[in-house]
Amino acid sequence: MDIETKKWEVLCSQEQIQERLKELGAQISKDYEGKKLMVISLLKGSFIFCADLVRHITIPVKIGFMTTSSYGHGESSTGQVNMVADISDDIEGYDVLVVDDITDTALTMNFVMGHLKTKNPASIKCCVLLDKPSRRKVELVPNYCGFEIEDKFVVGYGLNYGDYYRNVPYVFNVTNEDR
Query: Does the 13-152 domain belong in CATH 3.40.50.2020?
Result: yes
Catalytic residue numbers, as ranges: 104
Question: Looking at per-residue confidence, does 123 or 6 come out higher?
Answer: 123
Q: How many Å apart are CA 146 and CA 122, to the nearest integer?
A: 24
Question: What 3-state class would DSSP assign to 81?
Answer: strand
In the chain, domain spans: 13-152
Q: What's the mean pLDDT in 24-43? A: 98
Check: CB of residue 164 under 8 Å from CB of residue 1. Answer: no
Average pLDDT value over all residues in the chain: 94
pLDDT at residue 73 in the model: 52
If we measure between CA atoms, which residue out of 136, 141, 166, 137 comes closest to residue 43? 166
Q: How many Å apart are CA 126 and CA 103, to the nearest integer?
A: 10
